[in-house]
Amino acid sequence: MEQIVEALAALDAKTMILMAAVLYFSLTMVMFYTYFFRKTYPGFASLALGQLFWSLGVYLVFYRVLGDHLSLALSNGLLFLQAVCWHHGIAMYGGITPLRPRLLTNVALAVLAELAILYYVYVDFNTCRRVVIFSAFSALLYSRIALEPYLVRRWKTYSMQGIYSAIFLSVAVAFAVRAVQAVNATDCQVGGPDAIVKLLLLASMWIFAFLTFCVLSMTSSRVEAELREARDALRQQAQTDALTGLSNRRHFLEQAQAVLEDLEAHGGRASLIMLDLDHFKRINDVHGHQAGDLALQEAARHLRAALRDGDVIGRLGGEEFGVLLPGLEAGEALAVARQLRRAVAASRPGGLRVTASFGLADGALRLDSLLAQADEYLYAAKEAGRDRIAWSGGLVADNESGEALA
């Protein structure tokens, strides 16, 4: 400990303060550069402006270029504005609401605190009272910056948010302790050349740099998260049929091919169903395209609800759908096809009766072969009168009780 004190005593206070000022201004310029030339979010400008006020305020505390009284009054006001800006910035960044009452409350507190500082600068010059006022104000604002994102509104946080809040909470506690200690103190040196002040100055340099890093890191993480969300949305859009919400033809074929390859590698089996809504052109011509769209949407919803989690379904085009049933042979797949046929009939879009024809294929685990076979059976079901299932065992048409009629 003595060695640390001796090392700090050997440092020149004026030089340290100048180095700190240069660092603060440099990091502030980084924030403003990011704001003007990079992607940022609401509140970032307030955070950058707060850093500028901090830099100017700390400089005036130690370099009283405007005279002792005016420098002290102005520096405290700038540091009050810094805390207000940082709270406003983090509130905007996280979407903490209501925002305006919080800002007005902080501004009112800053004005009252500054008026008190002016009194103890120009009327009753009392350093300890100024320390109490400044420390109490800082403890309150910094604790709000640290805690409100978690207590007021559980907003989405990013990797460095916890560290950012932890730093502010630690600083708030330090200011609270300082305020309590200064209440009954008689000697409160601010900006003196002693070892404690130098140590605090070194700590503030590290904290300021790390807070800047935290803000930039949170912004970068947010940008990356939005890019991932946009990429996922584009992928979803490219893979999904906009009307029904099912996989589009390309994605269905990709999924089906991947499933079949996996089944072939593990000695599995699969069946494939192709179905087509009956007399769909008549629905569009008689009832309008909106009715046709509703028929497709309702059919898709009922079909999906009737399938297992591992089954693959997609809209192949127009009124045609494809369903891959992994692990099912023809007899088991026929039972599923019957369920799907009844599901389409139960959809009743806009009160209309809608039916579908089905082609069921099984056998070789080759997608092109299954598609060709299912399409052939589908054509046979339509030729035989529609509203039925064609498969290797013949034609099946169920009545409402589910009994085979043909």
Q: Other CB atoms closer than 10 Å to residue 105's CB: what's the count? A: 13
- Cross-strand partners of 274: 322, 359
Output the six-digit token pair for 42.
């609401």
Please, are residues 386 and 396 in contact by the beta-carbon 8 Å criterion?
A: no
Residues 6+ apart with CB under 8 A from 182: 128, 131, 132, 135, 188
CA distance 5 to 195: 6
CA distance 83 to 207: 15
Rg over CA atoms, the chain: 36
Give the torsion sign (CA, 56, 60, 61, 62): positive
Q: What are phi and psi of 272, to 5 degrees?
A: -130, 135
Question: What is the distance, to the nearest Å, from the Cα of residue 371 to the centroid of all Cα atoms in its chain?
Answer: 41
Please, are residues 113 and 121 in contact by the beta-carbon 8 Å criterion?
A: no
* Residue where the block lists tokens 């405007």: 66
Looking only at the bridges linking them, the beta strands covering 394-396 and 356-362 are unpaired
CA distance 236 to 205: 46
Q: What are phi and psi of 13, to 5 degrees?
A: -60, -45
CA distance 338 to 118: 86
DSSP characters over 308-344: -TT-EEEEEETTEEEEEEET--HHHHHHHHHHHHHHH
Q: Which of 261, 319, 329, 400 is catalytic?
A: 319
Closest of 60, 52, 15 to residue 30, by C-alpha: 52
Per DSSP, the three-state class of 271 is strand
Give the burial string for 117-133 (b: 16+ CB within 10 Å, else e). Answer: bbebbeeeeebbbbbbb
Does the annotation count 319 as an active-site position? yes
* Residue where the block lists tokens 């076979």: 373
Please, are residues 311 and 246 in contact by the beta-carbon 8 Å criterion?
A: no
* Beta strands per DSSP E along 95-168: none
Catalytically annotated residues: 319
